[in-house]
Amino acid sequence: MTAVKKMVFLTTAEAICVFAIYAGVLPSKTVFVLLGGLILVMAILSLDEAVIFFVLSIPLFTALPLSIDFDNFAAWRIIVLWLFSVWIFRQRKTVSALNLSRIKSLLLQINVFEWCIMSLFSVSSFSLLVAEDIGFGLRKLIFLANFIPLYILVRWLSAQSGPRNKILLSISLAGCIAVFGGILQFIVIQFISLHTFWKHWAQWVIPVFYGSGLGGVLSASNTWFSYYSNAPPTLRLFSFFPDSHSFGLFSLIATLPTLIIFKISAGLARKIMLTLWIILSLSIYLSGTRGLWLAALPIFFGVLLIYLLTNHFLNIKRRLAVTFLISFVVTVSLEALVLNNIAMIVAFGACTKMPLLCSNLLNSAFELPYNLWVIVLGLTSALLITLITYWLTIKKHVMEYSLARIILLPLLAFLLLLPVSSILLSRAHGAGVVTKDETLIFNRAKSILDINETSNKARLDIWQITAKSVLAHPIFGVGLGNYAKVLGEKFEASRRGASAHNLYLDFAAETGLVGGGLLIAFFCTIIFYSYRLLRYAKEERLKITGAIFGIYFLWIMFYNFFDVVLINDKVLLLFSSLLGAFSGIFIEKRSRI
């Protein structure tokens, strides 16, 4: 049996077992037998095959019902520790032969972004000193530490291009398995109502993967549907995840290696990866995760400007003129949408909240026509954007024209998939509800900038409360895992998803400004490493790989400003695998980058 057929067979067998447990064909306690079977299979496989199988299984991992009150222990935590123990045992000779020079060499292989994560763990540990509930903090610290063994395993395997490419493919296919769950949801609601779907999924499906406790919570409240003022609600695909945001981010992470493999493949493999990329990208829209859509726009805009300025088919004056014109149109459009709703409210409302701001000069400034403000700000912003882009592209040569085109095309394709997803969404009302409105997703996209929309307003309020907490506890925060204290809620609220809806604010509130800063530094550093790969790699495929990693890491970084689902266990497992594969490139190519 070939390696590919072996992985397909094993993953299919696992999926059938999970389905049988959900359907009641097998008792719920069978998950322990499944766990033992997975460990046995991975013991028979080679270590690289075992890790690949683990990554493929990420969407399918179940919860272990250890007791009536504790039935949500994730099976993957046992498997990953077992795999890591096997690896340590096999490396015992290497460990025993360590000397000072070898240790120094290993330390030099630690990347800056890895130092950021280690520092963040240290800061998080110190924050427990001020935690009101140390138990919640320790649980979260141990939870986050559980991902380190997988990262180390993937990093070690990815030091060679062969295993690394297989791991990248397994990440892509894991995303496709999750999307398959979303497709099943879409098919099911063609035959039953959304209400029936809601109750069934919360009562029977969620407990298999996350325990009955979360199933009970989600049966009362969830993010599974989009609501409209003039149309029936629609399903937001979420597959085997507890919320649609996690599914959307999981799909985004999986599109990264899919695009890389597509770019470096040929023939039938290239066509297959393109198809998978389209399906994964559509699932981002169908998850209804507006933050992911919004985060893509500044990246597309930036790459478009780089593409225009590096296009040598036009002379430099025309390139600058086109860049300035596009920048002006975009900034004026943004001002018309945003300033009218936010900035002007803040500006003219300042007198009631902060009288000191209402100087004669400020009052005189606001007497100017609103349209004039928009034009002046638009011209100024367009000029700054043009100058910065010119400096980056012409003076610093951050990206060549050919690479800018390679990156621009998939971003443009992603945006063009919006109408397609809107057609599909019009069929997601559930059985018995008929509508021909195929613009619903555009209405949802438009609501991104509506600060009066319920979820947007609540998010802004939470950000304001969290920011005040960060300023009140700037050194250690309120303690890791103690975010509920910021909102004045019981600590059990953390288990129900209480968060800052901003990953950086969330960590800053719990671990202080240093913790939040280290998390931002981590993402900035991996983007810089991607740039190094793009700028200095000698092989064209590595340049393309660096460009794609950089764009998608930036996308994930921007999205983290709107949510915290990166630390959903299965999302973080996939991200850890991806990051390990990325780090492995630098171990292999360090002498040439």
DSSP β-bridge partners for residue 225: 235
Q: Look up residue 299 and give its two tokens.
A: 């990246």
Q: Look up residue 105 and give its two tokens.
A: 């060499």
- pLDDT confidence of residue 360: 47
The rounded distance, in Å, linking the Cα atoms of 408 and 502 is 27
- pLDDT confidence of residue 344: 45
Q: Which residues contact 53 (CB under 8 A, 6 or more apart)?
A: 7, 10, 11, 41, 42, 45
- Which pTM does this prediction carry? 0.92
- pLDDT tens for residues 207-235? 999 999 899 999 988 889 988 877 889 99
Read out DSSP for 486-503? TTT--GGGGTTT---SSH
Q: Is 74 helix (H, G, I), strand (E, B) or coil?
A: strand
DSSP H helices, 339-453, are 344-353, 360-365, 370-390, 401-425, 440-446
DSSP code of residue 397: -
- CB 459: neighbour CB atoms within 10 A? 18
- pLDDT confidence of residue 494: 62
- CB 281: neighbour CB atoms within 10 A? 24
The rounded distance, in Å, linking the Cα atoms of 403 and 486 is 45
Q: Which residues contact 572 (CB under 8 A, 6 or more apart)?
A: 147, 566
- pLDDT confidence of residue 129: 94
- pLDDT confidence of residue 46: 92
- pLDDT confidence of residue 347: 45
Helix axes 47-56, 161-188, angle to 10 degrees: 20
Q: Which residues contact 314 (CB under 8 A, 6 or more apart)?
A: 322
- pLDDT confidence of residue 367: 52
- pLDDT confidence of residue 372: 73
Residue spans per domain, the chain: 1-84, 109-308+408-592, 311-398
The rounded distance, in Å, linking the Cα atoms of 419 and 269 is 27
**Cβ proximity of 592 and 538 under 8 Å:** yes
The rounded distance, in Å, linking the Cα atoms of 533 and 463 is 35
**Cβ proximity of 534 and 547 under 8 Å:** yes
Read out DSSP for 117-178? HHHHHHHHHHHGGG-S-HHHHHHHHHHHHTTHHHHHHHHHHTTSHHHHHHHHHHHHHHHHHH
**Cβ proximity of 63 and 73 under 8 Å:** yes
The rounded distance, in Å, linking the Cα atoms of 358 and 235 is 47
- pLDDT confidence of residue 497: 66
Q: Which residues of the chain have pLDDT under 70?
A: 1, 95-98, 336-371, 434-440, 446, 449-452, 491-497, 588-593
The rounded distance, in Å, linking the Cα atoms of 336 and 377 is 11
**Cβ proximity of 539 and 566 under 8 Å:** no
The rounded distance, in Å, linking the Cα atoms of 494 and 582 is 32
What type of residue is 206?
Answer: I
- pLDDT confidence of residue 58: 98
DSSP code of residue 61: P
Q: Is 235 helix (H, G, I), strand (E, B) or coil?
A: strand
- pLDDT confidence of residue 93: 72
**Cβ proximity of 154 and 47 under 8 Å:** no
Q: What is the 3-state secondary structure (H, E, C) of 259-300?
A: HHHHHHCCHHHHHHHHHHHHHHHHHHHHCCCHHHHHHHHHHH
**Selection from 549, 532, 559 nearest residue 448 by Cα:** 559
Phi, psi of 477 (to 5 degrees): 70, -155
- pLDDT confidence of residue 438: 65
Q: Look up residue 523 and give its two tokens.
A: 């993402």
- pLDDT tens for residues 374-422? 788 888 989 999 999 999 888 878 888 888 888 999 999 999 998 888 8
